[in-house]
Structure 1
Amino acid sequence: MYRLIISNNAVKQSSKIPKPIKEKVDERIKNLSDNPFPPDCVKLKSSKSSYRIRQGEYRVVYTVD
């Protein structure tokens, strides 16, 4: 299991998401602790350890160390 560290900025930004969508985004983030490489993740070219997942029109960018 991986440990999640969520930045203060991410918490602040997520508070602006409508509640039904935020619940889905939060679930996707929680699932990253079990599998940080879900089938729909995209490796970002700008960093060797950064990835992105989407939930509807929202993106979650994260780094795996």
Structure 2
Amino acid sequence: MQYRVEFNEEAQKQLAKLDKPVRTRVVLALDKLQSNPRPDGVKKLKGHDDRWRIRVGDWRVVYRIDDGVLIVIVIGIGIGIGIGHRSSVYKGK
């Protein structure tokens, strides 16, 4: 089973703003989610039935998993979660 990784608009913007080395590490981590969207070390976010978090160094990537259609959807920071430095990724806006 191979999952497809998609980004919402805000997450795409945040990814584009990352420095190239950080962006490369994030993309590699997301590529691994295609074969296993719940790898060792993943955290399910409290208060959300469908949101998960992986760490990439000091950075956090928060996403949803749709097992019905095999999609991992990376969520944007504009709604309080997404790709961001750990100090800001969990804050609601």
Question: When the two structures are superposed, what TM-score results if normalisation uses the length of structure 2?
Answer: 0.65
Structure 1: runs of 5 or more not aligned: none
Q: Whose relative contact order is higher, 1 or 2, with alpha carbons under 8 Å and at least 6 apart? A: 2
- After TM superposition, where is structure 1 displaced by more than 2 Å over at least 4 residues in a row? none
Structure with higher Rg: it is 2
Structure 2: runs of 5 or more not aligned: 67-93
Match of 1:58 in 2: 59
Give the total of aligned pairs.
65
Higher strand share: 2
Match of 2:12 in 1: 11
Give me the identity figure in percent.
38
- 1:25 and 1:5 mapped to 2: Cα distance? 13
CA positional deviation for 1:46: 2.0
Question: When the two structures are superposed, what TM-score results if normalisation uses the length of structure 1?
Answer: 0.90
Amino acid at match of 1:3: R
- 1:59 and 1:46 mapped to 2: Cα distance? 17
